[in-house]
């Protein structure tokens, strides 16, 4: 089995087709495959109306389904990208854009058309593709962190990349998914992380918590955002390795305040 | 102490084993390299045969695989189009090895600058950290950055053959041999896998629509000439004895190699020659554009939505090529899943040489071989002869028996319905006006390869390690 140019389908990339585990009616599955080839990328470009990120794991997914009710929630790259602004209204500019534009205008007034404007930072507020029956309802019940901090055995774990873009060497944008399944519950974290050097940080987390015995599903969306300069100044006062932290959303969270939070719940019976 | 002769060979051996050389040797090497590079123009002249490579990004083991697939230095002439460092785990070993080879065999290897060969970019994307980690100080990084400033901005390959002499390599297993055109045809493109087996071969059509052949190659909606469906193309092309356009050693224009692309400030290669290149890559201007810009399916010039950087369309490339007597622009800079991607009726190609980029993309890599005019398409015997599929200049028709000079054969992006052909004719009739047809491109042999088996040091584990994330 091979593709037209001779690349075998299974490459050296860490990949697997589908893996899954079933717990009390909940089936949790992931799929990890290499980045899309040119053909599927062209198709996706047409369907989306914007150029997909440089590294697009269009076949990958993480999915939780509840067989007794038919309910599901799934995370995939296409649906996430479909929520990226395609108009260019919320378009960011790289840090040296002003300087660049000024010089350009002097020399090339006639070149002023911005090609296919869209939010090239691929910022998405994607909270998953889910069934509306039953649908999530607003709630005050937080995800029970104490239960998740217990070292219960992890029976299923995966780490699935959905897309990544280097923003033409101006930073990074990535959407990735982690999932861990313990005997009584699971936690899934889909994180959008974006650093535009000299401009902005964004961390947008969607957490899905499932308590198997009660059929309780809690979804928490937390968006964080801060200007690059503000974060850099805060970090400069610490003894941390500034560059290393700027690459790692975990320690970085502390320096990037929450701008939006949504808490929802659904009970499956 | 000096790094010359046998010292240099020792350093090469050590680097080939992926072991860094001592700091004082790096300093000496960088000094020698600068002396050499300062003599080179902004646009280095290179004679075919030559093998053109794209981004490496510190993927040392894959660079070794590249040399295995493409032949070793100095048996094969190489031209690397920049982005040696950053992202991968072995930027230091990769760059220093290439630099050692440059100093040892200056006429056999050409290095040009990529946008990552810059102080600013390397501090953000890994090379700086790697130097600090491996030497405990930033000295080595500083020496390397000084070399970056002297790297040429482009290369001009002359004397490339219009047609390839087909390899006598076996047809790859997955390919139906009847679809491969006969070896007697005027071979324009050939794709080989890492074992030298023929994956794909394209013969220039020679009927009255002769150059339409190369035009079908550039369905703008598709990417490389390796379409997604290896369907049969039906009776495309003409009969068996189609090579009626004279010698297959037509003169072809030169090939310009540059990391990123064109600049609106540069309408001739001579203007590149006039730039003052010995500096950090600036944020704007011609030098910046050459290292940063990208081709796109647009008319004329456009601005990147990112707020900096140019995009250029087919008309820009065709006009530039025509004016400068070029048959092709080869560039790197953008990840392409199939390792290479020809655009704009094969007037520009992106070559990408970092397989499984960042150790997780699963893409393949490619290198582009241009043969020597009037020779056997640069089929230099490999140092690892038993692996390379080619060798020798024999033109035994191998598995090509049933092919009889068809045009597109495998993975054609022209569907059996012929719709794409019509589309391309229309396109070419617009583009052809006033500019004449693009020059016949050089014969292009792409060798496609996958990531080398990695040793486990520093590599992401195949299975993710379970963690108690919150």
Tell which wins on pLDDT, A26 or A95. A26
Question: Can you give the residue range of the structural domain that contains B122?
Answer: 41-88+110-454
Range with the lowest mean pLDDT among B90-94, B188-192, B203-207, B347-351? B203-207
Domain-located, residue B211: yes
Number of H helices, E strands in chain A: 7, 13
Is residue B24 a part of any domain in this protein? Answer: no
- Residue-wise pLDDT for B193-224, tens only, equals 999 998 888 887 643 333 333 333 333 333 44
Task: For B313-352, write each residue's pLDDT tens digit.
Answer: 999 999 999 999 999 999 999 999 899 999 999 999 999 9
Most confident of the ranges B120-129, B391-400, B413-422: B120-129
Distance, CA of A159 to CA of A178 (rounded, Å): 4
Residue A227 lies in a domain: yes
**Cβ neighbours around B350 below 10 Å, total:** 27
The dihedral built from the CA positions of residue B317, A54, B99 and B276, taken in this order, carries a sign that is positive
Scan residues 354-413 of B and list those with Cβ closer than 8 Å to A. 355-364, 410-411
Chain A residues touching residue B298 (CB < 8 angstroms): 115
Q: Is B23 among the domain residues?
A: no
Closest CA to B443 of B378, B350, B398: B378
Instruction: For the beta carbon of residue A67, count every other beta carbon within 10 angstroms.
Output: 11
Strand partners, B211: none
Closest-CA residue in chain A for B463?
A: A14
Distance CA B132, CA B134 (A): 6
Q: What is the pLDDT of residues A28-86, one digit of tens each?
A: 999 998 888 888 998 999 999 999 999 999 999 999 999 999 999 999 999 999 999 99
Strands, sheet with B444-449, edge to edge from the N-terminal-most edge strand: B109-111, B78-80, B50-53, B365-370, B444-449, B187-192, B198-203
CATH of the domain at B72: 3.60.21.10
* Domain assignment of residue A34, given as a range: 19-267
Q: Which residues of A touch B470 (CB under 8 A)?
A: 145, 148-149, 187, 189
pLDDT grade for A114, boundaries at 50, 70 and 90 = confident
Say if A147 falls within a structural domain: yes
Computed on alpha carbons and rounded to an integer, the radius of gyration of chain B in Å comes to 22
- Tell me whether residue A9 is in a domain: no
Q: B135-163, pLDDT tens digit by residue?
A: 999 999 999 999 999 999 999 999 999 88
Task: Please report whether residue A6 resides in a domain.
Answer: no
Model pLDDT for residues A54-63, shown as the tens digit of each residue: 999 999 999 9
A124 in a structural domain? yes
Q: Which two tokens stand for residue B337?
A: 């899943």
State both tokens at A30: 């992931």
Q: Is residue A83 part of a domain?
A: yes
Name the burial class of residue A69, with classes exposed (0-12), middle (13-18) and buried (19+) by CB atoms within 10 angstroms of its CB.
Answer: middle
Closest CA of chain B from A196, distance in Å: 11
> Which element (helix H / strand E) includes B343?
strand B340-343
- Residue B184, pLDDT > 90, answer no
Q: How many domains does chain B have?
A: 1
Residue B114 lies in a domain: yes
How many CA atoms, within 13 angstroms, populate the side-chain half-sphere of residue A221?
Answer: 12
Q: What is the largest CA-CA distance in chain B?
A: 70
In whole angstroms, give the CA distance from residue B194 to residue B142.
Answer: 36
Beta bridge partners of B46: B157
Half-sphere exposure of B254 (CA within 13 A, CB side): 18
Question: In sequence order, which residues have a C-beta less than 8 Å from that of residue A96 and are 6 or more positions away?
Answer: A198, B283, B284, B308
Decide if A13 contacts A32 (C-beta within 8 A).
no
pTM over 0.95: no
Phi-psi group of A149: left, alpha or beta (phi > 0 → left; psi -120 to 50 → alpha; rest → beta): alpha
Any domain includes A12: no
Asked if the model's pLDDT at residue B72 lies above 90, the reply is yes
Pairing assessment for the beta strands B365-370 and B444-449 based on DSSP bridges: antiparallel
The answer for B 107-166 residues in CB contact with A (under 8 A) is 115-116, 121, 123-125, 129
**B348 lies in some domain:** yes
Point out the residue among B227, B304, B361 whose CB comes nearest to the CB of A115: B304
Give B374 to chain A, closest Cα distance, Å: 28
Q: Where are the alpha helices (DSSP H) in B71-113?
A: 91-104
Q: Which two tokens stand for residue B88?
A: 């991968």
Residue A153 maps to a domain: yes
What the block records as the tokens of A247 is: 């690459």
Total count of domains within chain A: 1
Q: Would the ipTM clear 0.90, i.e. be above it?
A: no
pLDDT at B366 over 70: yes
């Amino acid at each position: 089995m091979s593709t037209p140019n001779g690349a075998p389908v299974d490459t050296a990339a860490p990949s697997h087709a589908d893996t899954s585990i079933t717990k009390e009616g909940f089936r949790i599955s992931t799929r990890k495959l290499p980045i899309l080839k040119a053909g599927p990328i062209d198709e996706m470009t047409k369907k989306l109306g914007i150029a997909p990120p440089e590294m697009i794991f269009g076949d990958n997914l993480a999915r939780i389904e509840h067989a007794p009710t038919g309910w599901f929630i799934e995370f995939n790259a296409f649906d996430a990208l479909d929520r990226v602004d395609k108009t260019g209204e919320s378009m960011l500019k790289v840090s040296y854009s002003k300087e660049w534009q000024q010089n350009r205008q002097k020399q090339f007034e006639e070149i002023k058309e911005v090609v296919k404007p869209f939010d090239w930072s691929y910022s998405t507020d994607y909270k998953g593709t889910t069934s509306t029956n039953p649908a999530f309802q607003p709630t005050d019940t937080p995800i029970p962190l104490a239960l998740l901090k217990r070292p219960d055995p992890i029976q299923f774990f995966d780490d699935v990349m959905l897309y990544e873009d280097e923003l033409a060497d101006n930073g990074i944008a990535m959407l990735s998914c982690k999932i861990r399944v313990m005997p009584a519950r699971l936690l899934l974290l889909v994180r959008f992380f974006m650093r535009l050097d000299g401009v902005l940080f964004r961390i947008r987390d969607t957490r899905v918590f499932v308590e198997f015995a009660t059929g309780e599903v809690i979804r928490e969306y937390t968006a964080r955002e801060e200007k690059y300069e503000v974060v850099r100044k805060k970090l400069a006062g610490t003894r941390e390795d500034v560059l290393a932290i700027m690459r790692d959303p975990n320690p970085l969270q502390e320096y990037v305040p929450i701008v939006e939070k949504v808490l929802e719940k659904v009970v499956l019976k | 102490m000096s790094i010359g002769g046998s010292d240099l060979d020792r350093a090469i051996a050590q680097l080939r084993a992926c072991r860094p050389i001592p700091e004082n040797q790096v300093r000496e090497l960088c000094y020698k390299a600068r002396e050499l590079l300062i003599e080179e123009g902004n646009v280095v002249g290179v004679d075919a045969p030559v093998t053109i490579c794209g981004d490496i990004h510190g993927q040392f083991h894959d660079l070794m695989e590249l040399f295995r697939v493409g032949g070793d230095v100095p048996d094969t002439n190489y031209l690397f189009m920049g982005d040696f460092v950053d992202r991968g785990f072995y930027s230091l070993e990769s760059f220093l090895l290439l630099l050692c080879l440059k100093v040892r065999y200056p006429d056999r290897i050409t290095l040009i600058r990529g946008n990552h060969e810059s102080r600013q970019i390397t501090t953000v994307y890994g090379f700086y950290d790697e130097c600090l980690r491996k030497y405990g100080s930033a000295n080595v990084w500083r020496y390397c950055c000084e070399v970056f400033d002297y790297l040429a901005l482009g290369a001009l390959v002359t004397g490339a053959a219009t047609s390839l002499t087909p390899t006598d390599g076996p047809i790859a297993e997955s390919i139906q041999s009847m679809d491969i055109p006969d070896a007697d045809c005027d071979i324009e493109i050939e794709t080989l896998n890492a074992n030298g087996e023929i994956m794909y071969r394209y013969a220039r059509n020679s009927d009255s629509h002769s150059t339409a052949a190369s035009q079908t190659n550039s369905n703008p909606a598709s990417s490389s000439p390796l379409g997604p469906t290896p369907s049969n193309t039906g009776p495309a092309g003409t009969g068996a004895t189609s090579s009626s356009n004279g010698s297959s050693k037509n003169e072809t224009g030169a090939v310009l190699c540059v990391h990123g692309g064109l600049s609106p400030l540069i309408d001739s290669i001579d203007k590149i020659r006039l730039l003052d290149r010995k500096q950090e890559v600036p944020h704007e201007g011609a030098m910046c554009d050459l290292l940063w810009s990208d081709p796109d399916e647009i008319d004329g010039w456009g601005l990147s939505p990112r707020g900096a950087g140019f995009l250029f369309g087919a008309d820009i490339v065709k006009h530039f090529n025509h004016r400068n007597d070029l048959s092709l622009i080869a560039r790197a800079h953008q990840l392409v899943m199939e390792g290479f991607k020809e655009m704009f009726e094969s007037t520009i190609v992106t070559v990408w040489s970092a397989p499984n980029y960042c150790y997780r993309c699963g893409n393949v890599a490619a290198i582009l071989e241009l043969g020597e005019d009037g020779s056997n398409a640069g089929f230099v015997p490999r140092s690892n002869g038993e692996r390379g599929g080619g060798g020798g200049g024999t033109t035994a028709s191998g598995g090509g028996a049933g092919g009889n000079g068809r045009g597109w054969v495998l993975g054609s992006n022209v569907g059996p319905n012929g719709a794409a052909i019509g589309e391309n004719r229309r396109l070419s009739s617009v583009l052809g006006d006033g500019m004449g047809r693009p020059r016949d491109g050089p014969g292009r042999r792409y060798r496609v390869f996958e990531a080398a088996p990695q040793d486990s040091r520093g590599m992401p584990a195949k299975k993710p390690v379970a963690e108690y994330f919150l």
